């Protein structure tokens, strides 16, 4: 069992290890620091807001209840006044007389007027009193203001429908005055089931509204309304709504529906504003006292405290994030340094140390990595020195494999030609041999310019022309840019030598050898092709084969691989009867 398996089996699932440590730490710190603050803040905000909203709602309900009682008390005074007038003998007898077909006399009118004056009642809100018979003949009227006959008949119809309760209705008079009409049906005192007529009091709506709703407000946009059972607005703080028919209004329909369900408030949208509607049904006058309160007014009381809570939560969040980032950086900064040290590739990067003097576990780990990097650096330097020495030895060994018999054979050939033929080519041969010996024995550089290597090849070919007496010819196709590249010494001579040996195997054979050098995409490509008989490339695996003189094709391949890597060896394309082509590729590191 591995140490890792023993230490992690009892902890968190390994699936977490698929996430980077940076992400795990950052997310964990944020959750630990922010979630409690945000959770407590949201819970406190919701609890406090809900509590305050409920208290404001209860206060509004109590206000509506008090206003309803105040309204009932005030309207009760008018109802008592109506009762006193309707049961008086003067009114009873006068109305009965008209109902019995007797003409309306001034005595009846003046008698009712004198009787009304005798009843103690002081109110600046009362604007008119009307007494009407069963056939809807006006018996008594103060005459201050009036309404259309149609509206007058509607009032009497509603009084008839509300009987035996008093009726509460709104009218707009000829003089553009808003009034509330309290109406009652008059019955015979001695025969209570016998109706005699109607009595109506006209009350100033604005003064009564101020008296009932005075100094009561739930903020800007709030309103109090008095709505009859048919949905008509009888009184309102907003004068624009007076007399409006709300029977088809969704809010009024919801009021009537909730009254039957025993509810007294609901939330709705009024003119695009969230609004709390609270209402109280007055059974005495069959009307609804309703208040529309903007939701902003209810939440306004909590806004300041909520802003303080939000500000406090924001401060805690900032502090939490700051501490989180501080701890996060104290953990991730040394880890990033260690990761960078482990990912170092160049020699300069590998030589850099973490230098973390901290006494915690991460500091200990960083110092351990520094020690390991030092050890690895020493081992790498030692290995590099060993490889360099090994490569130098191998190159020296390969260079020392040059067959000295070639030089002696060439000298003997030149000697016999000079002795027997007495011709000037001997001087050319000796000159070429001198240059070649100088490049071979005096100059020790392993890498030389391609122009120098090409010059050595031409010297070698001049010497071979003396030996093979015109049995081969050379062609050169060299790009100018190729001359500036550096190449290993004597990589061309073995390839051309191989072409000469194969191409002139028979005495009658003639071979053309072409040397072509091109530069493209920072790569020098050398092609050496011949028109010889070709051979089996597998034969070059025998490094000591007598057919491959000089250092041999195998040595050229090995030297190329040692200098430039295994992908830059010698490529041979040949087949019997076709010819041979050798290809060398030298990368741009060899540019002089």
Q: Is residue 306, in this structure, part of any structural domain at all?
A: no
SS3 447: strand
Instruction: Name the residue with tokens 């945000």.
Output: 38
CB 574 within 8 A of CB 563: no
Of 375, 395, 415, the last residue of a domain is 395
Cβ neighbours of residue 540 closer than 8 Å, sequence gap 6 or more: 548, 552, 553, 554, 557, 572
Both 92 and 223 in one domain: the answer is yes
Both 383 and 500 in one domain: the answer is no
Both 468 and 500 in one domain: the answer is yes
Average pLDDT of span 19-39: 76
Q: Is residue 16, in this structure, part of any structural domain at all?
A: no
Both 183 and 162 in one domain: the answer is yes
Two tokens, residue 282: 């007055």
Taking all residues of the chain, what is their mean pLDDT, rounded to a whole number?
81
Q: Is residue 25, in this structure, part of any structural domain at all?
A: no
For 491, 533, 546, 577, the CA distances from 495, given in Å and listed in that order, are 7, 15, 15, 18
Q: Is residue 329, in this structure, part of any structural domain at all?
A: no
CB 267 within 8 A of CB 276: yes
Instruction: Name the residue with tokens 């290993």.
Output: 488
Q: Which domain holds residue 214?
A: 52-296
Average pLDDT of span 464-477: 87
Both 438 and 583 in one domain: the answer is yes
Of 1-10, 318-327, 459-468, 481-490, the range with the lowest mean pLDDT is: 1-10
Sign of CA dihedral 468, 472, 473, 478: negative
Could you read off the pLDDT of 530-575 as tens digits, one per residue?
A: 988 887 777 655 544 444 444 578 888 988 998 888 889 899 998 8
Closest CA to 40 of 350, 333, 317, 431: 317
Two tokens, residue 385: 């020195």
Q: Are strands 511-520 and 486-488 parallel, antiparallel or unpaired?
A: unpaired
pLDDT band at residue 119, thresholds of 50, 70 and 90? Answer: confident
Q: Which of 7-16, 446-455, 500-509 has the highest mean pLDDT?
A: 446-455
Of 262, 278, 296, the last residue of a domain is 296
Could you read off the pLDDT of 229-258 as tens digits, one per residue?
A: 899 999 988 888 888 999 999 999 999 999
Both 143 and 256 in one domain: the answer is yes
Distance of CA 451 to the CA centre of its chain: 63
Both 273 and 187 in one domain: the answer is yes
Could you read off the pLDDT of 483-527 as tens digits, one per residue?
A: 889 999 889 999 999 888 887 777 778 899 999 999 988 899 999
pLDDT band at residue 478, thresholds of 50, 70 and 90? Answer: very high
Both 503 and 429 in one domain: the answer is yes
Higher pLDDT among residues 560 and 437, named by residue: 560
Of 395, 430, 462, the last residue of a domain is 395
* CA 197/CA 99 separation, integer angstroms: 8
List, as one string, the DSSP characters of 131-163: EEETT--EEEE--S----HHHHHHHHHHHHHHT
Could you read off the pLDDT of 159-215 as tens digits, one per residue?
A: 999 988 999 999 998 888 899 999 999 999 888 889 999 999 998 888 778 777 777
Of 218-227, 281-290, 304-313, 571-580, the range with the lowest mean pLDDT is: 304-313
Higher pLDDT among residues 328 and 156, named by residue: 156
Q: What are phi and psi of 175, to 5 degrees?
A: -85, 15
Q: How many domains does the chain have?
A: 3
pLDDT at 543: 47
pLDDT band at residue 10, thresholds of 50, 70 and 90? Answer: low
Q: Is residue 201, in this structure, part of any structural domain at all?
A: yes
Both 155 and 77 in one domain: the answer is yes
State yes or no: pLDDT of 7 exceeds 60. Answer: no
Both 93 and 120 in one domain: the answer is yes
State yes or no: pLDDT of 411 exceeds 70. Answer: no
pLDDT at 340: 74
The answer for 322, left when phi > 0, alpha when psi is -120 to 50, beta otherwise, is: alpha
CATH number at residue 416: 3.30.565.10
* CA 334/CA 368 separation, integer angstroms: 13
Q: Is residue 18, in this structure, part of any structural domain at all?
A: no
CATH number at residue 90: 3.30.450.20
pLDDT at 157: 93
Both 125 and 237 in one domain: the answer is yes
The answer for 469, left when phi > 0, alpha when psi is -120 to 50, beta otherwise, is: left
Distance of CA 553 to the CA centre of its chain: 65
Q: Is residue 355, in this structure, part of any structural domain at all?
A: yes
Average pLDDT of span 436-453: 77
Q: Is residue 20, in this structure, part of any structural domain at all?
A: no
Higher pLDDT among residues 45 and 478, named by residue: 478
pLDDT band at residue 349, thresholds of 50, 70 and 90? Answer: low
Higher pLDDT among residues 570 and 315, named by residue: 570
Both 231 and 366 in one domain: the answer is no
């Amino acid at each position: 069992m591995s140490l890792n398996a023993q230490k992690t089996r009892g902890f968190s699932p390994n699936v977490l290890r698929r996430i980077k440590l940076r992400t795990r730490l950052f997310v964990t710190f944020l959750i630990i620091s922010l979630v409690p603050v945000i959770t407590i803040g949201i819970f406190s905000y919701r609890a406090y807001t809900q509590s305050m909203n409920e208290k404001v709602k209860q206060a509004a309900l109590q206000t509506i209840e008090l206003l309803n009682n105040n309204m009932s008390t005030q309207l009760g005074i008018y109802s008592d006044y109506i009762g006193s007038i309707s049961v008086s003998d003067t009114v009873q007898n006068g109305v009965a007389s008209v109902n019995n077909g007797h003409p309306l006399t001034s005595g009846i009118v003046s008698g009712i007027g004198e009787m009304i004056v005798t009843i103690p009642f002081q109110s600046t809100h009362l604007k008119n009193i009307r007494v009407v018979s069963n056939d809807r003949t006006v018996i008594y009227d103060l005459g201050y203001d009036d309404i259309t006959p149609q509206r007058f008949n509607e009032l009497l119809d509603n009084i008839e429908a509300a009987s035996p309760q008093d009726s509460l209705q709104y009218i707009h008079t000829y003089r553009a005055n808003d009034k509330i009409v309290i109406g009652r049906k008059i019955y015979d005192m001695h025969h209570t089931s016998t109706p005699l007529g109607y009595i109506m009091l006209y009350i100033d709506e604005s003064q009564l509204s101020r008296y009932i709703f005075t100094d009561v407000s739930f903020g800007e946009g709030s309103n109090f309304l008095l709505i009859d059972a048919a949905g008509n607005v009888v009184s309102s703080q907003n004068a624009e709504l007076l007399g409006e028919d709300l029977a088809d209004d969704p809010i009024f329909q919801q009021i009537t529906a909730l009254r039957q369900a025993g509810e007294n408030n609901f939330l709705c949208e009024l003119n695009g504003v969230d609004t709390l509607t609270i209402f109280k049904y007055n059974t005495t006058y069959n009307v609804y006292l309703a208040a529309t309160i903007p939701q902003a007014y209810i939440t306004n009381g909590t806004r300041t405290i909520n802003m303080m809570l939000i500000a406090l939560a924001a401060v805690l969040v900032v502090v939490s994030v700051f501490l989180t980032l501080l701890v996060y950086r104290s953990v991730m900064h040394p880890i990033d340094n260690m990761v960078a040290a482990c990912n170092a590739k160049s020699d300069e990067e590998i030589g850099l140390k973490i230098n973390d003097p901290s006494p915690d576990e991460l500091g200990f780990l960083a110092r351990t990595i520094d020690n390991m990097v030092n050890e690895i650096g020493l081992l790498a330097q030692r290995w590099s020195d060993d490889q360099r020495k090994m490569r130098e030895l191998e190159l020296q060994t390969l260079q020392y494999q040059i067959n000295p018999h070639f030089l002696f054979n060439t000298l003997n050939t030149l000697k016999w030609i000079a002795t027997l033929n007495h011709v000037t080519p001997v001087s050319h041969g000796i000159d070429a041999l001198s240059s070649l010996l100088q490049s071979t024995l005096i100059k020790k550089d392993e890498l030389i310019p391609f122009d120098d290597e090409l010059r050595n090849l031409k010297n070698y070919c001049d010497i071979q022309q003396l030996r093979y007496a015109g049995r081969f010819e050379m062609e050169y196709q060299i790009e100018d840019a190729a001359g500036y590249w550096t190449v290993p010494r004597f990589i061309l001579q073995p390839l051309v030598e191989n072409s000469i040996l194969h191409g002139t195997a028979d005495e009658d054979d003639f071979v053309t050898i072409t040397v072509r050098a091109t530069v493209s995409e920072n790569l020098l490509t050398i092609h050496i092709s011949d028109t010889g008989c070709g051979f089996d490339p597998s034969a070059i695996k025998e490094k000591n084969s007598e057919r491959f003189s000089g250092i041999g094709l195998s040595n050229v391949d090995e030297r190329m691989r040692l200098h430039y890597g295994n992908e830059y060896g010698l490529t041979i394309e040949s087949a019997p009867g076709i010819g041979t082509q050798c290809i060398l590729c030298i990368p741009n590191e060899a540019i002089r």
